[in-house]
């Protein structure tokens, strides 16, 4: 099965189901973190452009020079900042630099979209309960690296992706949204990854809207909002 697989040919189960997320106030300001290709970054930018997500990407943070995600940001006219992890002495130092960029950009939510570094409490506490990650498995199965390989090795018949809140324990925070896909007997890492990617691009923009909507309900920002 190829990456050009039509959406209608790609069976899935998505929960909570896709629908309109009402974010009728100011757009949510996002900072996106990505390490590589950036297809999820692209899907989020496209959802914003299509007005399926009331948000704005203030800045892209990427850590690998030459990563394709930076070209995508340029095409969308979104500012990007390279923080090459090789130039930092520790994970904490790297995260301090990232926090500074994200705070300067005044982002509301941090969106890890293919960020392939473990993040530390320096970042997690600076944006407590306001960092989302997408992981290519049905958590809590197959945490950590090589999630798709792990799923194939375990011979599971259903795989998928999960959007969750980032907490200090890797791939463990509250689950916001999941999509499940079948695993076929002849699947390779690439074919299964392509099937999962299609679902990631559907659920991530929606999950961002859901998470932002939920947190706005919890923290009324003005007196008038408290009566809504
Ligand atoms: C996505 O499949 C995402 O789930 C995965 O990296 C890919 C990035 O693709 N993330 C992780 O494995 C994090 N542990 P993209 O760069 O095309 O968005």
Q: Is residue 227 part of a domain?
A: no
Is the pTM higher than 0.85? The answer reads: yes
Q: Is the CB of 70 under 6 A from ligand 1?
A: no
Query: What is the residue-wise DSSP string for 141-169?
Result: SS-SS-HHHHHHHTT-SEEEEEEEE--SS
Q: Please give the pLDDT value at position 215.
A: 84
Q: Which of 46, 70, 136 to mutate to test the pocket of ligand 1 (most atoms within 8 A of CB)?
A: 136
135 is a catalytic site residue = yes
> Atom 2 of ligand 1 has which residue's CA nearest to it?
136
Whether 83 and 63 have beta carbons less than 8 Å apart is answered as yes
For 113, the domain range is: 3-213
Using alpha carbons, select from 87, 128, 99 the residue that is nearest to residue 33: 99
Q: Is residue 223 part of a domain?
A: no
Domain at 205, CATH number: 3.40.50.170
The 8-class DSSP code of residue 197 comes to H
Q: Is residue 103 part of a domain?
A: yes
Structural domain count of the chain: 1
Q: Is the CB of 150 under 6 A from ligand 1?
A: no
Query: What is the residue-wise DSSP string for 202-226?
Result: HHHHHHHHHHHHHHHHHS--STGGG
The 8-class DSSP code of residue 89 comes to S
Q: Is residue 113 part of a domain?
A: yes
Angle, vertex CA 167, rays to CA 161 and CA 172, nearest 5: 40
201-224 confidence digits (pLDDT tens): 999 999 999 999 988 766 444 433
Neighbours of 50 (CB within 10 A): 9
> Atom 14 of ligand 1 has which residue's CA nearest to it?
135
In whole angstroms, give the CA distance from residue 166 to residue 147: 17
Which regions in the chain score pLDDT beneath 50?
1-4, 219-228
Q: Is residue 221 part of a domain?
A: no
Q: Is the CB of 119 under 6 A from ligand 1?
A: no
Q: Which residue has the tokens 């990505």?
A: 34
164 forms bridges with which residues in the sheet?
133, 175
Q: Is residue 226 part of a domain?
A: no
Q: Could you tell me the two tokens for 134?
A: 């997408």
Q: Is the CB of 134 under 6 A from ligand 1?
A: yes
Q: Which of 113, 170, 172, 208 to mutate to test the pocket of ligand 1 (most atoms within 8 A of CB)?
A: 113
Q: Is residue 222 part of a domain?
A: no
């Amino acid at each position: 099965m190829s990456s050009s697989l039509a959406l209608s040919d790609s069976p899935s189960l998505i929960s909570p189901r896709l629908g309109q997320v009402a974010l009728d106030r100011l757009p949510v300001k996002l900072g996106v973190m990505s390490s590589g290709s950036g297809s999820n970054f692209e899907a989020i930018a496209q959802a914003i452009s299509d007005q399926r997500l009331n948000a704005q990407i203030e800045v892209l943070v990427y850590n690998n020079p030459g990563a394709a995600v930076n070209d995508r940001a340029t095409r969308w006219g979104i500012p990007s900042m390279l923080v090459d992890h090789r130039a930092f002495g520790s994970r904490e130092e790297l995260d301090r630099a990232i926090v500074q960029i994200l705070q300067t950009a005044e982002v509301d939510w941090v969106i890890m979209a293919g960020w392939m570094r473990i993040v530390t409490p320096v970042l997690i506490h600076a944006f407590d309960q306001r960092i989302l990650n997408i992981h290519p498995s049905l958590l809590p199965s197959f945490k950590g690296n090589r999630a798709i390989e792990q799923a194939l090795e375990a011979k599971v018949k259903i795989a998928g992706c999960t959007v969750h809140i980032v907490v200090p324990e890797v791939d463990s925070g509250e689950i916001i949204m999941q999509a499940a896909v079948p695993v076929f007997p002849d699947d390779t890492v690439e074919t299964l990854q392509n099937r999962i990617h299609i679902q990631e691009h559907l659920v991530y923009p929606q999950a961002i809207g859901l998470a932002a909507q939920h947190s706005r309900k919890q923290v009324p920002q003005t007196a008038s909002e408290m009566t809504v």
